[in-house]
Structure 1
């Protein structure tokens, strides 16, 4: 069997509501040389039935015998992939039809790049846009990894985006040990930082992925532990000698962190209000 150029990895847990829409967005890519690996994390809802409805030779479905924690589950689905380039897509997020086309074109042609990300759109439970073209301010085009880390510290949050907006190399993922289970809220950002130890960054102007704000993510947004984790990560980066972060970068990040958190929470509050109205309309 010919090795695909890209693996799209989808970890699925109790994903019945959105999984079909996510899969359709992945399978509709204009770029054709890819596989889709879905890992059913011992789901007890309709996830297995939904997966059986998809008859596509690019799709491989695996299942855990018992529920794995988040990082272990994400690492396992990547470990099952066959391609040199990998994208992880959460089971409620979406891809633009040309996402793989654009990102593969950049990463496959430049061995000095470790990570390519695009802007993304934040959507509500009904996939309606809440905010378009988010992320990558000051990070469009090619940037040295050290400059990107300084931007991360100055941002006070995650300026690079969620997994669906990123494409990375499988060998470098293995080299850094994959997703680090010691982190929860910034687990994806921690991986991006570790990958950037192996090469530079490229930011695409187009919004090529959509991050869905669901009731589960609403709960996470209200948990202050995520904010504390983000500050801990920024402090570690600021004191790491290999990144040469300036004192000014650190001070700017401390000042901006509350604002970054409030902006994200505002989107989640808007999503909550829209979800409530949609529920009232369905029940009314």
Structure 2
């Protein structure tokens, strides 16, 4: 019987021919060697499969998406279902892990049995692999909880987590098409587990216009999921009074934002309902944000409204 790898690296890729080889080379060059790489080809129609087939490393396992028009969530759930490692590392098909990423994260998980998820800082790069900025995350757990009240500060490609804990909290929730990674971290925290941020850059995260989640037709879905997820974040256990206040403001903002997206899609009644709900959640802040969004919609000021 073949011994299971300690780490399963999971990846979902859709039409990733431009950056995939650079990513795969960096993964197979990792200083930590005891891993399998499970790649879901999520319906690609470019040369993605040819690139995958060109690798003869026995640690590579390729799975094929069979459903039509799969989302990111569909792909990552399929890769996850085929992973057998004690720890799961995530790496998107266009992001580049630094040499010691897996080694550092395995050591961190081994050192603290109360930590379920280890992440780290990351450098953003553009489509030409040029450096954009370094994203430094809060190093304390309380700081991370507070950061969750305004945004999801973690990059999914920096995740390494305990698979048994992920299984216990339901893995990647099927109700989220693009926010299942955020939901997974929130569920771990709600279950009493810790998230640790390594104060070092572990990954180069690529930001480019061709990413699937940037498609304009997904605006409504993204806005809906953001509202739902930040509602969960605002109700995390152990929040300080400052964090709770931030969470209420952010939830009002996300609800109003969702309302404007619905109105943009001419779903006027549903959109107005969300806007009024957001105004009720935080009247002063909500009114200010509503005025800002309305001015954007009327093109009184310039701003990307439906992001």
Q: Deviations over 1:54-88 (max 9, x none)?
A: 11121112222344332122111011111110012
In the superposition, relative to structure 1, how do residues 204 and 187 fare at CA in structure 2: closer, same or farther (>3 Å)?
Answer: same
1:175 and 2:168 are equivalent in the alignment: yes
Could you say what the CA RMSD is over the residues aligned between the two structures, in angstroms?
A: 2.7
Counterpart of 2:148 in structure 1 is: 152
Q: Deviations over 1:119-161 (max 9, x none)?
A: 01111011211112x1412x25xx3xx76434412xx0012x1
Counterpart of 2:7 in structure 1 is: 6
Counterpart of 1:195 in structure 2 is: 188
Distance in 2 (CA, whole Å) between partners of 1:218 and 1:40 is 14
Counterpart of 1:123 in structure 2 is: 125
Deviates more, 1:247-256 or 1:105-114: 247-256
Distance in 1 (CA, whole Å) between partners of 2:66 and 2:221 is 30
Distance in 1 (CA, whole Å) between partners of 2:144 and 2:25 is 33
Residue 215 of structure 1: SS of its match in structure 2?
Answer: coil
Counterpart of 2:106 in structure 1 is: 104
Distance in 2 (CA, whole Å) between partners of 1:251 and 1:224 is 26
Counterpart of 1:235 in structure 2 is: 231
Distance in 1 (CA, whole Å) between partners of 2:78 and 2:27 is 20
Distance in 2 (CA, whole Å) between partners of 1:63 and 1:166 is 23
The alignment's TM-score, normalised by the length of structure 2, stands at 0.72
Counterpart of 2:39 in structure 1 is: 38
Distance in 2 (CA, whole Å) between partners of 1:2 and 1:244 is 40
Deviates more, 1:71-80 or 1:185-194: 185-194
The alignment's TM-score, normalised by the length of structure 1, stands at 0.78
Residue 32 of structure 1: SS of its match in structure 2?
Answer: coil
Larger radius of gyration: 2
1:248 and 2:242 are equivalent in the alignment: yes
Match of 1:215 among 209, 212, 219: 209
Q: Residue 77 of structure 2 contacts residue 172 of structure 2 at CA under 8 Å; is this kept in 1? A: yes
Count of equivalent residues = 249
In the superposition, relative to structure 1, how do residues 209 and 65 fare at CA in structure 2: closer, same or farther (>3 Å)?
Answer: same
Shift of 1:246: 4.5
Residue 116 of structure 1: SS of its match in structure 2?
Answer: strand
Q: Residue 145 of structure 2 contacts residue 243 of structure 2 at CA under 8 Å; is this kept in 1? A: no
Deviates more, 1:47-56 or 1:249-258: 249-258
In the superposition, relative to structure 1, how do residues 4 and 239 fare at CA in structure 2: closer, same or farther (>3 Å)?
Answer: closer
Q: Residue 164 of structure 1 contacts residue 210 of structure 1 at CA under 8 Å; is this kept in 2? A: no
Counterpart of 2:73 in structure 1 is: 71
Counterpart of 1:278 in structure 2 is: none
Distance in 1 (CA, whole Å) between partners of 2:152 and 2:56 is 36
